[in-house]
């Protein structure tokens, strides 16, 4: 079953600002899907339309085969939304926010309390349940937004940059929580600027740029499509001048670091052998940047060149 079907979705803002140019998207049930793109690409507009905070200009959106226009209530009851910006009443208490949110979905207070307790404990907020939101830290507010989105036990969870501005420890605990949630059957759609997050979490990735989907494929396929891998090698000894290394594109960064562009088909073994022939011993190897990040930058640049 498809969790989300978006067909010819278009959004034109006033002053003829075209945010979405008829995008098509399908997300299968159980998927962990990333929607990536640079700022202003149309990610948040897409999510805004899914959450009905933005009116679409044309196109159709179905959630678990419920059309959001004609089967509004059924479609909406399947969705949980974690917005990018905090949207709490700062004077409300944590538990009240959650129980009220559940109430808006028609969930009785008793069940709402049970759900709230479950997720608050999972995300280590139970002790803060009687606190007003304004007294929570930024990270706590982020977690509370996730709990609020889960209070109606949605089948589709949509997160708009959920880890923006959170510390590394919290980021990793959220990744773990979201992975568990996905393993329990919740379909997750995520937008993020952290490409390692998408690569680590998501099974499928769509890249949107200037209101158009320019790539939509499984994460592994996308990453493998990268023609070049840029590596940073650290040497055991100081090098003053880099010798000519056959077939490898290299440059010396500093006395103990070399940048190598490894083309598809070239192996690390061959590289090490060549280096070894020149008495260069390698102590450490690392990617210059995240592989998906490298691909993302290439695709966006290609799309820009195409548009130009």
Is residue 20 within 8 Å of residue 46, measured between CB atoms?
A: yes
Residue 208 burial (CB < 10 Å; 0-12/13-18/19+)? buried
Q: Is the CB of 74 or the CB of 122 nearer to other proteins?
A: 74
Of 2, 5, 52, 257, which lies in the binding site for other proteins, with binding defined by CB under 8 A?
52
Told to check if 87 binds other proteins by CB under 8 A, we report yes
Tokens of 111: 């069940």
35-43, 69-77, 172-180, 242-250 -> range binding other proteins (CB under 8 A): 69-77
Told to check if 185 binds other proteins by CB under 8 A, we report no
Stretch 5-44 residues interacting with other proteins (CB under 8 A): 13
Told to check if 54 binds other proteins by CB under 8 A, we report yes
Stretch 105-164 residues interacting with other proteins (CB under 8 A): 105-108, 148, 152
101-109, 169-177, 194-202, 233-241 -> range binding other proteins (CB under 8 A): 101-109
Beta bridge mates, 284: 234
Is residue 207 within 8 Å of residue 199, measured between CB atoms?
A: no
Size of the site for other proteins (CB under 8 A): 34
End-to-end CA separation in angstroms for the chain: 39
Q: Is the CB of 105 or the CB of 272 nearer to other proteins?
A: 105
82-90, 116-124, 271-279, 292-300 -> range binding other proteins (CB under 8 A): 82-90
Alpha carbon distance 73, 100 (integer Å): 17
Alpha carbon distance 83, 95 (integer Å): 19
Of 2, 26, 67, 100, which lies in the binding site for other proteins, with binding defined by CB under 8 A?
100
Is residue 208 within 8 Å of residue 243, measured between CB atoms?
A: no
Alpha carbon distance 294, 231 (integer Å): 12
Catalog residues that contact other proteins under the rule CB under 8 A: 13, 48, 51-55, 72-77, 79, 81, 83, 85-90, 92, 97, 100-101, 103-108, 148, 152
């Amino acid at each position: 079953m498809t969790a989300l079907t978006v067909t010819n979705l278009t959004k034109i803002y006033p002053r003829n600002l075209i945010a979405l140019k008829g995008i098509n998207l399908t997300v299968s049930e159980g998927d962990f899907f990333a929607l990536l793109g640079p700022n202003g690409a149309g990610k948040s507009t897409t999510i805004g339309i899914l959450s009905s905070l933005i009116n679409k200009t044309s196109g159709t959106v179905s959630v678990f085969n419920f059309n959001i226009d004609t089967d509004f209530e059924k479609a909406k009851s399947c969705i949980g939304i974690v917005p990018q910006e905090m949207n709490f009443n700062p004077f409300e208490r944590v538990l009240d926010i959650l129980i009220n949110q559940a109430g808006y979905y028609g969930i009785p207070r008793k069940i709402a309390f049970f759900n709230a307790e479950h997720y608050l404990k999972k995300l280590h907020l139970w002790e803060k349940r009687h606190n007003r939101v304004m007294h929570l830290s930024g990270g706590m507010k982020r977690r509370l937004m996730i709990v609020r989105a889960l209070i109606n036990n949605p089948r589709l969870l949509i997160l708009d940059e959920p880890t923006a501005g959170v510390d590394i420890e919290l980021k990793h605990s959220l990744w773990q929580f979201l992975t568990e949630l996905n393993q329990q059957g919740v379909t997750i759609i995520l937008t993020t600027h952290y490409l390692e997050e998408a690569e680590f979490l998501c099974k499928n990735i769509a890249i949107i740029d200037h209101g158009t989907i320019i790539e939509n494929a499984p994460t592994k396929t996308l990453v493998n499509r990268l023609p070049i891998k840029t590596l940073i090698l650290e040497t055991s000894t100081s090098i003053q001048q880099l010798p000519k290394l056959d077939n490898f594109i290299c440059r010396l960064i500093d006395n103990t670091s070399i940048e190598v562009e490894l083309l598809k088909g070239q192996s690390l073994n061959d590289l090490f052998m060549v280096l070894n022939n020149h008495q260069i011993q390698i102590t450490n190897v690392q990617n210059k940047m995240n592989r998906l990040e490298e691909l993302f930058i290439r695709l966006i640049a290609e799309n820009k060149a195409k548009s130009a």
